[in-house]
Structure 1
Amino acid sequence: MKKLVVVIITTVMLFSCGKKEKEGEEYNPSASTEETATTDPSSYDPKRGEGKFTTVELGAALDQAMATKGEEVAGVKCTSCHKTTEEKLVGPGWKGVTERRKPEWIMNFITNPDPMIDKDPEVQAQLEICLVRMPNQGLADEEARSILEYMRKNDGVK
């Protein structure tokens, strides 16, 4: 019975962390690594990360509706690997992430993790601890922004 439970949980975690293919588009796992190989690692900005987000405007107050949407998205895409506390699950806990990282870095990482894993020394060190590479969840920009707002709420922004 215990073995069956372990198999079911493992299967759920694998499927929940997998890349979702867009309709009509084939998944090409080498696409992100080809892009990484052509970029100059010396141009990597550890404060911003790598991706399309150069600035992310945050309100002083929390956008409650956006945080609620982010909690819903995170419940489907993130919480099988991340806890909202400091405790590591599969990936690191989220507590304090918005205090340690700039919003541009967070947005770039959750929408474009592969090149950042390949280039960011702190992410590489975290990978040695977690032993699991963060998968690209194929999040829309709005979903990623909502997750960022949920992370801010988790870190006590009111």
Structure 2
Amino acid sequence: MKKLLMMIAVGSLMMGCGEKKEEKKGGFEMNRTKKEVKATNASGEVPVDMDNKGVGPFTDVSFADDIDQEMAAAGKAKYDMLCTACHMPEKRMIGPALKGVYERRSPEWVMNMIINPDGMLKEDPIAKALLKEYNNAIMLNQNLSEEDTRNIAEYLRTL
């Protein structure tokens, strides 16, 4: 009987010392490696870049000297409905203040950011730098038409 118990104990010990199996954890895995964003200047601020047109359908936009009041009114209505949760004209919130945006960005860049924030955040270095500056708060795609985008762009000229 002692021999039998001894053999069982030795066999259990040998089986327990076998190859370790990797535990599978439930849920998801998150990769926290940081990617370098090169669109910041030496002071860490996002630079002014009037030559960058961004990523999207707008490649050549020129504004008339006078603001189109009808377009600006339509743009203000859309802006008030969709944008004010994150943007104020003169106050930094979840997103940047938009007063004077055309002194920092080209009209094409602004309009491409409005209509195509997903593509801009993936490919545009300034959009990536702004994302980093604003604590990775992603601008949501509002699925705007080109006309709505142009109206909002016209309204931004009035700020």
TM-score class, shorter-chain normalisation, is 0.5 to 0.7
In the other structure, the counterpart of 2:155 is 150
Q: Does residue 66 of the first structure (1) align with residue 76 of the second (2)?
A: no
Aligned to 2:94: 90
Residue 123, structure 1, aligned to residue 127, structure 2:
yes
How far residue 153 of structure 1 moved from its aligned partner, in angstroms, is 0.8
| AA matched with 1:123 | A
Structure 1 residues 82-132: Cα deviation after superposition (integer angstroms, max 9, x where no partner): 0011x2111111011112111111111110111211222222221122120
2:89 aligned with 1:107: no
- What are the ranges of 5 or more consecutive residues in structure 1 without an aligned counterpart? 1-45
* 1: CA distance, partners of 2:128 / 2:109: 15
TM-score with structure 1 setting the length: 0.65
Question: Where has structure 1 moved over 6 Å in runs of 4 or more?
Answer: none
Work out which of the two has the higher radius of gyration on C-alpha atoms and give 1 or 2: 2
Q: 2:81 aligns with which of 58, 65, 76?
A: 76
Question: CA RMSD, aligned part only?
Answer: 1.2
Aligned length: 108
User: Which of the two has greater helix per residue?
Assistant: 1
Confirm or deny that 1:49 pairs with 2:54: yes
After superposition, what is the alpha-carbon deviation per residue over 1:126-153, rounded to whole angstroms, capped at 9, x for unaligned? 1122120101110111111010011001
CA distance in 1: counterparts of 2:53 and 2:115, whole angstroms? 13
Q: Does residue 1:139 correspond to 2:157, yes or no?
A: no
TM-score when normalising by structure 2: 0.64
Equivalent position amino acid for 1:97 in 2 = V
TM-fit CA distance, 1:68: 1.0
Q: SS of the counterpart of 1:136?
A: coil
